Amino acid sequence: MTNTLEPTLTGGGPLDDARTQLREATTILGFDDGLYEMLATPRREVTVSIPLRRDNGDTELLVGHRVQHNFSRGPAKGGLRYSPDVNLDEVRALAMWMTWKCALLDVPYGGAKGGVRIDPRHYSQAELERVTRRYTSEISPLIGPERDIPAPDIGTDEQTMAWLMDTYSVQQGHTVLGVTTGKPVSLGGSLGRATATSRGVVHVALAALRSRGIDPDGATAAVQGFGKVGRYAARFLAEAGVRVVAVSDQYGAIGSHTGLHIPSVEKHVDAHGSVVGFPAGEEVDDVLTLDVDLLVPAAVEGVIHSGNADRIRARVIVEGANGPTTPEADAILQVAGALVVPDILANAGGVVVSYFEWVQANQAFWWSADEVETKLADRMTTAWDRVTEHATRFDLPLRTAATCLAVERVAQAHLLRGLYP
Ligand code: GLU
């Protein structure tokens, strides 16, 4: 396999995983190497340096990226991540997954992703504002409602999006609400956006449990990650009658055989910054390997890998995070008979409601929370049905089926448009 990207900063990792998945899909679809290479390679990428004036007067140099993987079906779309682990290859992988996610859910976007290598926990709000404004300013020629539309991801939130929108707008000379999604509702955001990823995760999790003959009412679940995705996924699962027996965050994991009372866990997290120390729970060693009906990895990439996949006992795994399962682990789980609902389907609720937000902002006309929820549920159910039908018809794992459907849609757009010049 040739590699047209350089430099690659890491060996293995998410980019290799994303390309392995793409290679499998293009082989099944009968695409030639040229088309594979085109789809494996970002259309455009930029690396920027971000000099930050710290609160104490020192200057620190940070690095950021924005990768636009594909525009065949519309403007590029994807989150902005603040994490000390950000690197260009990770952002490339995440941008590629966004292309497939948007195509699978039939939202009219290509894929993109951004990242700044920073641990936001160690910076003040004022410093994070300066980082966001400088980063936005550096990438501003590339973004815009018709070009590339950032959104929150790990380490960023609606405040980040408000700063980003403001910086871009000041540069344009007028307010451009459609340049980001995931904004505060009071600033052109959409009702239902903050919890949309988790709502989508739970829609497909309930469908996946039922497809395996497991009644969600009383089924057991473990959730890895208690941030923007895991927290609300745990809440909505519990509201649906699922017994959430364990949750974790970057500091540790807690559990209870009878099921955690999620509203109390949320209160504990708001007060103490972590699930750790929750009084009505015991410490848990490894949330991933518990004997549960449902496992929701909702943290980062690569957590289910060849080193632990044979110890995963969950019957159904629903990927709240992007890229949590490596291809090697996928193969092991497939043999073991576990059902893996892939990220590009399971966590697509976020970008679906981002699309709704963009449509609302561009029309300056806002929808009710019910309207957003109903339209989201429709999209998730339609995608779930298409992927499961395709998987059954061609005897494929759900990830392969989902990737084939998405890649075919992107390739079709590309072929119809033709190659310029
Ligand atoms: N960061 C989210 C994701 O990975 C949302 C992206 C978006 O809404 O553009 O899907």
Nearest CA to ligand 1 atom 4: 79
Residue 5 is predicted with a pLDDT of 44
Query: Do 279 and 234 reside in the same domain of the chain?
Result: yes
- H-only helix segments in 157-251: 158-172, 196-211, 230-239
79 lines ligand 1 (CB under 6 A): yes
Distance 116 CA to ligand 1 centre (A): 16
* Domain-ending residue, one of 341, 375, 396: 341
Query: Do 257 and 310 reside in the same domain of the chain?
Result: yes
Whose tokens are 């047209």? That residue is 4
CA angle 404, 406, 408 (to 5 degrees): 65
Is the pLDDT at 4 greater than 90? The verdict is: no
DSSP labels, 285-317:
S-GGGS--SEEEE-S-TT-B-TTTGGG---SEE
Residue 139 is predicted with a pLDDT of 98
Residue 418 lies in a domain: no
Split into its structural domains, the chain has a count of 2
> Which domain CATH number covers 134?
3.40.50.10860
Distance 190 CA to ligand 1 centre (A): 14
How far is Cα 349 from Cα 376, in angstroms, rounded to an integer? 7
Query: Do 131 and 218 reside in the same domain of the chain?
Result: no
Distance 419 CA to ligand 1 centre (A): 28
Say if residues 340 and 333 touch (Cβ distance below 8 Å): yes
Is the pLDDT at 41 greater than 90? The verdict is: yes
Query: Do 58 and 93 reside in the same domain of the chain?
Result: yes
Query: Do 160 and 210 reside in the same domain of the chain?
Result: no
151 lines ligand 1 (CB under 6 A): yes
Say if residues 305 and 330 touch (Cβ distance below 8 Å): no
Residue 353 lies in a domain: no
Query: Do 305 and 211 reside in the same domain of the chain?
Result: yes
How far is Cα 355 from Cα 288, in angstroms, rounded to an integer? 32
Query: Do 58 and 158 reside in the same domain of the chain?
Result: yes
How far is Cα 77 from Cα 348, in angstroms, rounded to an integer? 12
Catalytic residue among 113, 183, 228, 375: 113
Question: Is 113 annotated as catalytic?
Answer: yes
Residue 147 lies in a domain: yes
How far is Cα 391 from Cα 388, in angstroms, rounded to an integer? 5
Residue 21 lies in a domain: no
Whose tokens are 């980062």? That residue is 300
Pairing type for strands 148-152 and 76-83 reads parallel
Q: Which amino acid is residue 35, in one-letter code?
A: L
Task: Say whether the peptide bond before residue 421 is cis (omega within 30 degrees of 0).
Answer: yes
CB atoms within 10 A of CB 365: 8
* Domain-ending residue, one of 309, 341, 373: 341
Q: What average pLDDT score do residues 150-159 get?
A: 98
350 lines ligand 1 (CB under 6 A): yes
What count of Cα atoms within 13 Å lies in the side-chain half-sphere of residue 254? 22
Query: pLDDT, tens digit, for every residue of 285-307?
Result: 999 999 999 999 999 999 999 99
Tell me the residue range of the domain where 325 lies.
Answer: 196-341
Query: pLDDT, tens digit, for every residue of 55-86?
Result: 999 999 999 999 999 999 999 999 999 999 99
Say if residues 145 and 180 touch (Cβ distance below 8 Å): no
Residue 273 lies in a domain: yes
Residue in 351, 372, 380 to alter for ligand 1 test, most ligand atoms within 8 A of Cβ: 351
155 lines ligand 1 (CB under 6 A): no
The token pair that represents 95 in the structure block: 């941008």
Report CA-CA distances (Å) from 346 to 205, 309, 319, 341, 376. Answer: 8, 19, 6, 6, 12
Nearest CA to ligand 1 atom 9: 78
Atom of ligand 1 minimally distant from the CA of 351: 8
Torsion 66-229-297-36 (CA) sign: negative
Residue 9 is predicted with a pLDDT of 40
Residue 365 lies in a domain: no
Say if residues 89 and 14 touch (Cβ distance below 8 Å): yes
Nearest CA to ligand 1 atom 8: 351
The token pair that represents 93 in the structure block: 């992988």
Atom of ligand 1 minimally distant from the CA of 181: 8
Q: What average pLDDT score do residues 18-41 get?
A: 98
pTM of full prediction above 0.85: yes
Query: Do 213 and 263 reside in the same domain of the chain?
Result: yes
Residue 420 lies in a domain: no
67 DSSP β-pair partners? 45, 113
244 lines ligand 1 (CB under 6 A): no
The token pair that represents 91 in the structure block: 């952002």
Distance 1 CA to ligand 1 centre (A): 29
Distance 347 CA to ligand 1 centre (A): 8
- Chain centroid to Cα 103, Å, comes to 14
Residues of the chain with pLDDT > 90, as a percent, come to 97
Query: Do 225 and 151 reside in the same domain of the chain?
Result: no
Residue 81: closest CA among 163, 13, 155: 155
Across all residues in the chain, what is the average pLDDT?
Answer: 96
Residue 12 is predicted with a pLDDT of 80
Is the pLDDT at 2 greater than 70? The verdict is: no
Residue 208 lies in a domain: yes
183 lines ligand 1 (CB under 6 A): no
354 lines ligand 1 (CB under 6 A): yes
Query: Do 210 and 154 reside in the same domain of the chain?
Result: no
How far is Cα 295 from Cα 298, in angstroms, rounded to an integer? 9
Q: Helix, strand or coil for residue 318?
A: strand
Distance 101 CA to ligand 1 centre (A): 9
322 lines ligand 1 (CB under 6 A): yes
Is the pLDDT at 284 greater than 60? The verdict is: yes
Residue 394 is predicted with a pLDDT of 98
Going by pLDDT thresholds of 50, 70 and 90, the confidence category of residue 141 is very high
Is the pLDDT at 52 greater than 70? The verdict is: yes
Whose tokens are 């539309």? That residue is 149
Say if residues 316 and 295 touch (Cβ distance below 8 Å): yes
Distance 378 CA to ligand 1 centre (A): 19
> Which domain CATH number covers 304?
3.40.50.720
Going by pLDDT thresholds of 50, 70 and 90, the confidence category of residue 7 is very low
* Domain-ending residue, one of 290, 310, 341: 341
Query: Do 168 and 211 reside in the same domain of the chain?
Result: no
Query: Do 217 and 307 reside in the same domain of the chain?
Result: yes
Torsion 236-333-298-397 (CA) sign: negative
